[in-house]
Amino acid sequence: MRRKLDRLVDGHSVRLVHPVPRIKWITKTDERGREISRRRSPKSGIAADVCAELVSFPSLLDHPNFTLEVLLTEEEEVWRPDARGWRRGGFVVEERRLVGVLDEVEFTSPDDLCDLLPPGLPDPFTTKDLAGALRRTRHAAQEVAYCLRESGAIDVAGRDRRGYLYRRPSDS
């Protein structure tokens, strides 16, 4: 997708819209499609979750023709029984339905990505600090830090025995 976007932004204005489910409802159905149960998923998405996709092309945000829009949504995931669906206790995802758009966040420049950093981070901070502040895994925090670093939104301030230390460029 990166090569396609690289070619497109040179001659066109590109707006990439990516949904992130903030609220997800899981509806289990039987073989006939009748609802068995409905519950809210414990997972809650945030705008920083888009970095899992953005790691392929973080420097693209520097381009004046590129805009990334993250839609925080409420969605319903419909599960149906399937003997081969071993991941979800014998169920597979049949469809995902958009219930509504709760919020939208637009990124037009690398500076906008700094909004992904939660307040109260130490200076300098590690991905462990970032993971705790975002309430995400260390892996997810590393994806966020990579996107911010590659786009120029944060700088590497050094290293310690745990990994890289990061800081906002204005703090330098």
pTM to 2 decimal places: 0.82
**Residue 56: C-alpha distances to residues 9, 46, 51, 150 (Å):** 15, 19, 9, 11
Percent of the chain with pLDDT over 70: 97
Residue-wise pLDDT tens digits, 21-77:
999 999 999 988 899 999 999 999 999 999 988 888 888 888 899 999 999 999 999
Spans of all domains in the chain = 2-118
Interval 31-40: pLDDT, tens: 888 999 999 9
